[in-house]
């Protein structure tokens, strides 16, 4: 019996009129999210990154051979506000991991691109990130992971219908 089940038993005893099954699902997901988040943050810190900086760098890295996107495209993929994205880009630029240039297709806009240093760091970090994720899900069989992925995708689609963001690159989801 896990901690969440003990909490559910207490609620069933104190409030037998309530169906607390959803509390168990969400409680376990919340606790699991905290454990996974801590493990992934620790892994990223070994590369001098945090979840926010990794999110931007990974999005640029997986975008293709120019490794450049507009700030608006970065906001769409990472699902953050304009102010948050500007702050992230500023910090990454100060660290020499990205550069900003004028967008040749739109003289009013800019592009954010990985620098050589940013490319090297995110390439190493994403390899470690994938290995860490594999370690974190190792307690599940392939069939269990596929079932869980299908169920989570179904559940998530109720909150994010038609969203183009993806989870695989470490984006909010993480990541």
pLDDT digit string, tens, across residues 128-154: 999 999 999 999 999 999 999 999 999
pLDDT at 105: 82
Mean pLDDT over each residue of the chain, to the nearest integer: 90
pLDDT at residue 6, as a whole number:
96
Compute the chain's Rg from CA coordinates: 20
CB 114 within 8 A of CB 67: yes
In order of 21, 52, 95, 107, 110, the CA distances from 137 in angstroms are 24, 22, 32, 45, 39
Is there a contact between 174 and 51 (Cβ–Cβ < 8 Å)?
A: yes
Q: What is the pLDDT of residue 104?
A: 82
**pTM of the full predicted structure?**
0.80
At 20, give phi and psi (nearest 5°). Answer: -100, 15
What pLDDT does 173 receive? 45
Q: Tokens in use for 118?
A: 């940013």
Q: pLDDT tens across 28-72, in order?
A: 999 999 999 999 999 999 999 999 999 999 999 999 988 999 999
**Neighbouring residues of 152: CB distance < 8 A, sequence distance ≥ 6:** none
Asked if residue 63 lies in contact with residue 81, where contact means CB atoms within 8 angstroms, the answer is no
- Predicted local confidence at residue 79, as pLDDT: 86
């Amino acid at each position: 019996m896990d901690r969440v089940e003990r909490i559910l038993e207490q609620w069933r005893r104190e409030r037998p009129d309530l169906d607390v099954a959803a509390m168990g699902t969400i409680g376990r997901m919340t606790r699991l999210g905290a454990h996974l988040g801590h493990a992934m943050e620790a892994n990223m810190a070994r590369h001098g990154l945090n979840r926010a900086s990794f999110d931007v760098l990974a999005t640029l890295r997986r975008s293709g051979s120019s490794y450049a996107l507009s700030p608006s495209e970065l906001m769409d993929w990472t699902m953050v506000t304009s102010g948050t994205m500007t702050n992230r880009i500023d910090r990454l630029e100060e660290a020499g991991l990205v550069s900003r240039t004028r967008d040749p297709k739109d003289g009013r806009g800019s592009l954010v691109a990985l620098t050589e240093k940013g490319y090297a760091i995110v390439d190493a970090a994403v390899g470690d990130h994938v290995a860490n994720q594999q370690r974190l899900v190792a307690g599940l069989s392939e069939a269990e992971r596929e079932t869980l992925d299908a169920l989570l995708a179904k559940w998530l689609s109720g909150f994010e219908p038609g969203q183009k963001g993806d989870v695989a690159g470490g984006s909010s989801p993480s990541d």
